[in-house]
Amino acid sequence: MTDRAEPYLLREFRVTEGANGHRVSAILDGREVWFESPGFEAPQEGGNAFLAVAFLAAMATGRNLDMSDLPPVSATLLDALPTLDAIWTQWNPCLSSIEVRAQRATTHSGPGGGESLFFSGGIDATHSALEGTPGQQLVFVSGFDHAIDRQSLPATTARLERLSQRLGSTLTMVETNWVEWRRECRLSGALMHGGCLAAVAHLLGSGHVTISSSNSFRRLTPWGTHVLVDPLWSSERTTIRHWGNHCSRAEKVARVVQATALHADLWVCHARPVGNCGRCAKCARTRLAFHLLGNTLPIEGSMAHRDPVEAYLPHLKAGSEHVYIAEMIELARAGGHADTRRVLERGARRLARRHVLRDLRNAVLTRSAQRRMVRTDLQPWGHGPAPRSV
């Protein structure tokens, strides 16, 4: 194990020309993290970018962050660090408060130009693109949800280009090894992903960069991207905003359903890098919402022929579905699908009972088992042992 007194060191910052544009890299605690894109207008903002990537990683190991060899960091961002530190240490007892050693930028070029939106072709980002500034740059980060898959990347790019054309926007592709680095370090995606997006935002150098919200204001629970956290990653040049909490998932789907020209290229699936499997919870939920709104979400494979209600019901075992089931029932009620509503209400009751029994089981566990469970739920690296040094 690494000594906690030893700093979490960032070094060897480099900007080189890669096969797909500027490649910006640094060594984070012994492992290289890189980002590459033809759209990077501000590689000199690398100090901000790697601070965003490394901050929570350092907090997870409880070691102070030393990035004094990297380019200067925005004064705005440095001033926000105590707040970010306070938020995360309150939200997650497994994270430790740390100090950051970095060069403070004494000058800045003022706000950058243009607007950008992180975009994967899912419901949240498509809703933001439809409701946001027309013509804004759409940014897809390959290596964020899944490791870069060279085989499927051309198909992904083609799909996103079609979507951005129909939305009247330009597409910028970014590649990174961030997800692989995160997995090697055993850091949780739920905790860390906001820092990755903030890093890309700084390297793009746009004046405003939007991260679409996954949740409405109903659900303000700690998450890697959050309406209270994302703006704190901003610099003098780049303002980062978290947008879309004012709509429920069902309302977002209802807006996207109206944009029929986009349906063929929507991608909501986390099980496959291209196309919608129809089997995972996200696919099943979105497909049912489309169905209740009188439309069809394109699905690949045999699941396309399965009834959307039947395909969704097995997912009512998952704890996370209690967030969405009420919205589904409301959609069924509003759409006059009385039979579906009854089925969903029965499912919701079963889900509530399941939750109650699960909590009872947890309550009767021995105290050490409870402690182990809480640690597992809250630890920043997700399940498994603590991150180890290189």
What is the SS3 assignment for 163? helix
Query: Binders of another protein among 124-163, rule CB under 8 A?
Result: none
- Pick 19 or 360: Cβ nearer another protein: 360
* Long-range contacts of residues 42-45, Cβ cutoff 8 Å, at least 24 apart: 42/112, 42/202, 42/203, 42/204, 42/205, 42/237, 42/238, 43/15, 43/203, 44/15, 44/71, 45/71, 45/74, 45/202, 45/203, 45/205, 45/235, 45/237, 45/238
**Which region among 82-90, 152-160, 205-213, 290-298 touches another protein (by CB under 8 A)?**
82-90
- Pick 216 or 238: Cβ nearer another protein: 216
Query: Binders of another protein among 234-263, rule CB under 8 A?
Result: 245-246, 248
- Pick 20 or 96: Cβ nearer another protein: 96
Q: Which residues pair with 318 in a beta bridge?
A: none
- Pick 217 or 314: Cβ nearer another protein: 217
* Long-range contacts of residues 334-338, Cβ cutoff 8 Å, at least 24 apart: 335/292, 335/293, 335/294, 337/292
The distance of closest approach from Cβ of residue 104 to another protein in the complex, given in angstroms and rounded to an integer, is 23
Q: Which residues pair with 117 in a beta bridge?
A: 138, 210
The distance of closest approach from Cβ of residue 87 to another protein in the complex, given in angstroms and rounded to an integer, is 5
Please state, in angstroms and rounded to a whole number, the distance separating the CA atoms of residues 24 and 52: 14
Query: Binders of another protein among 159-188, rule CB under 8 A?
Result: none
- Pick 116 or 213: Cβ nearer another protein: 213
The distance of closest approach from Cβ of residue 390 to another protein in the complex, given in angstroms and rounded to an integer, is 32
Token pair listed for 175: 């590649």
Site string for another protein, 336-375 (x = CB under 8 A): -------------x--xx-xx--xx--x------------
What is the SS3 assignment for 257? helix
Instruction: Work out which of 126, 216, 286, 379 binds another protein, going by CB under 8 A.
Output: 216
Site string for another protein, 89-108 (x = CB under 8 A): -xx-----------------
The distance of closest approach from Cβ of residue 295 to another protein in the complex, given in angstroms and rounded to an integer, is 25
**Which region among 11-19, 98-106, 216-224, 258-266 touches another protein (by CB under 8 A)?**
216-224
Question: For another protein, how many residues bind (rule: CB under 8 A)?
Answer: 24
Please state, in angstroms and rounded to a whole number, the distance separating the CA atoms of residues 96 and 87: 11
Instruction: Work out which of 155, 158, 190, 228 binds another protein, going by CB under 8 A.
Output: 228
Of the candidates 36, 2, 5, the residue with the CA atom closest to the CA atom of residue 18: 36
Please state, in angstroms and rounded to a whole number, the distance separating the CA atoms of residues 51 and 102: 9
The distance of closest approach from Cβ of residue 140 to another protein in the complex, given in angstroms and rounded to an integer, is 28
Query: Binders of another protein among 277-296, rule CB under 8 A?
Result: none
Q: Is 227 in the site for another protein (CB under 8 A)?
A: yes
The distance of closest approach from Cβ of residue 352 to another protein in the complex, given in angstroms and rounded to an integer, is 4
Please state, in angstroms and rounded to a whole number, the distance separating the CA atoms of residues 349 and 128: 33
Cβ-contact 172, 116 below 8 angstroms: yes
Name the E strands within the chain.
8-18, 21-28, 31-37, 65-66, 100-101, 115-118, 137-142, 170-176, 208-212, 239-243
Instruction: Work out which of 86, 190, 365, 373 binds another protein, going by CB under 8 A.
Output: 86
Q: Given the structure tokens 């029965």, which residue do they identify? A: 346
State the residues that interact with another protein by CB under 8 A.
83, 86-87, 90-91, 216-218, 220-222, 227-228, 245-246, 248, 349, 352-353, 355-356, 359-360, 363
